Amino acid sequence: MSKRPAPLSPTSLRDELASAGAPDPSALVRDIGTYLEALSPTEKTSPLSLLLGTCVLQLRDIMARSTVSIEDAIERDKRERSVVVQGLVESCAVKASERVAEDLAKVTAMLDLAELEHSPATVFRMGEKSDSRPRLLKVMFHSRSAQLSLIKKSRLITSHYPNVYVRPSMTKAEREKEYKLRQECRHLRGQGKEVVVYAGSIIEKSQLAEVQRRMRASHSRPTSTPISSIPPRQTTILNPKNQ
């Protein structure tokens, strides 16, 4: 039996398409446009010319949508393999190489604390340096499983680094949603409710283990089943607006 080829990542797919022998759509659109411009007014109204003009419009639309989807898939793939470390003190070394090496050493120490046998693909600070607080540190792994493992064991890290917070890499919209959830969670705790933010929802702390169990069960099934469709024991997901 022949071995199935490994699935391509979005980045590999883009490189594969770029190196393939298929005609370049941009060049094809340009050549058809040049041909149509050279036609006489009468020839431009012929069925063939009108068909070619329609083909150019369709090709341009497909090219625009394909470029966006491939680039989006590449960025999503990177985010799903990355974590962001907040509050980790920056190096005071003069040389950039020494600062990078110190950040890598700190990340390696965190991985040792979490007992994870993964090496980061890249580690870098984001944004401009500030004297008031350390910049966010982005850690990108070679696989999503490494990112998920670190997120699951992040409490082991925060127990040794109290001011450090490890979270998944997110889009701006996801960060804003997460911030609002944390604010709502603090408000509910101020009212005496024991709640936590988990899997994009605010739930009662007493129900956390049950929700986690149901999520693991849904992920282990051959076909994906939404959590809401699994017959639950009574699990309370709070809506702060109704409290």
49 CB burial (10 A radius; 0-12, 13-18, 19+): middle
Q: Is the pTM of this model over 0.75?
A: no
Determine the Cα–Cα distance for residues 84 and 68; give it in Å rounded to an integer: 25
Give residue 196's pLDDT.
85
Tell me the average pLDDT of the chain: 80
Q: Sort 128 into a burial class: Cβ within 10 Å, 0-12 / 13-18 / 19+.
A: exposed
The domain made up of 81-169 has a fold known as Alpha-Beta Plaits (3.30.70)
Element (DSSP H or E) covering residue 132: none
More confident residue, 2 or 148: 148
Q: Which amino acid is at 49?
A: S
pLDDT digits (tens, 9 = 90+) for 132-171: 899 999 999 999 999 999 998 988 888 888 889 899 998 8
pLDDT digits (tens, 9 = 90+) for 51-97: 888 888 888 877 777 666 777 788 888 999 999 999 999 999 999 99
Q: Return the number of other C-beta atoms located less than 10 Å from residue 103's C-beta.
A: 20
Amino acid at 152: K
Determine the residue type at 223: T
Residue 124 has pLDDT above 90, yes or no: yes
pLDDT by residue (tens digit) across 39-55? 888 888 888 888 888 88
- With b meaning 16 or more CB within 10 Å and e meaning fewer, what string describes 201-214? ebbbeebbeebeeb
